[in-house]
């Protein structure tokens, strides 16, 4: 008599707890107590650096000489956070970052200040995304979204504190390109490379990347070679928003960067492909971290623009999250347990 199992829905084995699907290196510090103390010390330095750099945009009775040292402190903290989170070699990247920070503070040459501001913006933009955790629930996704924006905003005040003489458009493009390059390098292993995407997900991400390049190229073309009528229309819209709501939402953040942040942290709770979505989230955090690089920028206007962009980006992201995480009927029929993917704690290395 045959002992074949009768047909029916294929059930997921819930008896085995999920494990992290990426190998991690051994802890650098054996003592958990010492490791916790170092983590709290780094977080304390992050708060001190943010408060000191914030004096560059908030009118309080604080000496001006603390601005750049505070920005240098934040740059080192960002480097420590990314290196630790990505499983890099602290003895290599920390001295390099610290040397650049000290040289920029002591020598104050234009090249060093611009380089330090650029590195600070890139590290803040990438760390804001790498510090997130997978979010299974709607509330969890919103909390991770807020956390990433807070980290990116600390990078914003650090870049403002450097007060570097740069061209905003050129500086912004360099930071976005460098941040995406660094993010792709880190995500390559965490997301199982391009072969881990699958054809459909790879096609979707390639389409989003092509759309992004098209939008950036089109906006640059309109500013330089567009018709006067079209340029005047965009200018009038911006002027009306400035006069009536005191801020202008940034389209790159609203439609690409911030929605990708919501979708990415949510998708990571099920599949590693969520890391590739977060590569596009770095665009939003990079634009945010460079928003105050120009000395003539008005903090109130930038703050309101960021607020509007974050609210609209959150709404767009939640709508996309609903459709992206919606299981297909065929997959739902095959499984009765929700797919759960785990990752190490927030302050533990991912690789």
Q: Where are the alpha helices (DSSP H) in the chain?
A: 32-54, 67-85, 90-107, 110-130, 138-162, 168-190, 199-225, 228-244, 251-252, 258-267, 274-289, 299-324, 329-334
Instruction: Provide mean pLDDT across the span 21-35.
Output: 76
More confident residue, 61 or 336: 61
pLDDT tens digits, 178-212 = 999 999 888 887 765 665 566 666 666 676 677 77
What is the Cα–Cα distance from 70 to 258, expressed in whole angstroms?
27
Using a CB cutoff of 8 Å and minimum separation of 24, what contacts does 64-67 make? 67/161, 67/163
Measuring CA to CA, which residue among 152, 145, 154, 158 is closest to residue 266? 145
- Quote the tokens at residue 124: 């803040």
Tokens in use for 248? 């202008």
Question: Residue 306 pLDDT more than 60?
Answer: yes
Mean pLDDT on 153-159: 96
Q: pLDDT higher for 159 or 3? A: 159
Residues 6 or more apart whose CB falls under 8 angstroms from that of 1 comprise: none
The pLDDT assigned to 337 comes to: 54
pLDDT at 261: 94
Check whether 165 has a pLDDT greater than 70.
Answer: yes
pLDDT at 98 over 50: yes
Q: Alpha-carbon dihedral of residues 313, 319, 320, 323, nearest 10 degrees?
A: 170
Mean of the per-residue pLDDT values of the chain: 83
Answer whether residue 102 shows pLDDT above 80: yes
User: CA 262 to CA 268: how far, in whole Å?
Assistant: 10
Say whether pLDDT at 164 is over 80. yes
% of the chain at pLDDT higher than 90: 44
Q: Which of 35-49, 97-111, 204-218 has the lowest mean pLDDT?
A: 204-218
pLDDT at 329: 54
Tell me, what's the pLDDT at 192? 57
- Enter the pTM of the model: 0.86
DSSP-assigned letter for residue 344: -
Do the beta carbons of residue 268 and residue 214 sit within 8 Å? no
Instruction: Classify each residue of 121-151 as buried b or exposed e, where b means 16 or more C-beta atoms within 10 Å of its C-beta.
Output: bbbbbbbbbbbbbbbbeeeebbebbebbbeb
pLDDT of residue 8: 46
């Amino acid at each position: 008599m045959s002992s074949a199992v009768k047909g029916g829905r294929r059930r997921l084995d819930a008896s085995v707890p999920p494990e992290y699907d990426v190998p991690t290196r051994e802890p650098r510090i054996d003592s958990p107590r010492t490791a916790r103390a170092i983590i709290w010390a780094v977080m304390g330095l992050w708060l001190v650096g943010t408060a000191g750099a914030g004096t560059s945009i908030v009118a309080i009775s604080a000496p001006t000489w603390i601005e750049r040292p505070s920005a240098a402190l934040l740059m080192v903290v960002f480097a420590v956070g990314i290196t630790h989170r990505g499983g890099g070699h602290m003895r290599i990247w920390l001295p390099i970052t610290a040397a650049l920070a000290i040289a920029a503070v002591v020598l104050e040459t234009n090249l060093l200040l611009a380089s330090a501001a650029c590195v600070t913006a890139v590290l803040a933009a990438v760390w804001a995304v790498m510090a997130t955790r997978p979010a299974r629930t709607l509330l969890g996704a919103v909390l991770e979204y807020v956390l990433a924006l807070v980290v990116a905003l600390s990078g914003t005040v650090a870049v403002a504190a450097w007060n570097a003489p740069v061209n905003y458009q050129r500086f912004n493009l360099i930071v976005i390109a460098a941040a995406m390059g660094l993010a792709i390098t880190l995500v390559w292993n965490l997301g199982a490379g391009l072969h881990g995407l699958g054809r459909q997900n790879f096609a979707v991400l390639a389409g989003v990347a092509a759309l992004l390049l098209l939008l950036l190229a089109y906006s640059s073309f309109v500013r330089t070679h567009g018709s006067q009528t079209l340029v005047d229309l965009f200018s009038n819209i911006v002027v009306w928003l400035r006069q009536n709501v005191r801020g202008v939402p940034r389209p790159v953040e609203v439609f690409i960067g911030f929605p990708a942040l919501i979708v990415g942290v949510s998708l990571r709770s099920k599949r590693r492909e969520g890391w590739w979505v977060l590569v596009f989230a770095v665009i939003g955090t990079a634009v945010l971290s460079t928003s105050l690089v120009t000395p003539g920028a008005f903090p109130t206007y930038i703050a309101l623009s960021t607020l509007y962009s974050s609210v609209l980006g959150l709404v767009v992201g939640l709508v996309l999250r609903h459709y992206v995480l919606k299981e297909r009927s065929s997959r739902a029929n095959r499984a009765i347990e929700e797919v759960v993917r785990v990752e190490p704690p927030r302050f533990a290395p991912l690789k």
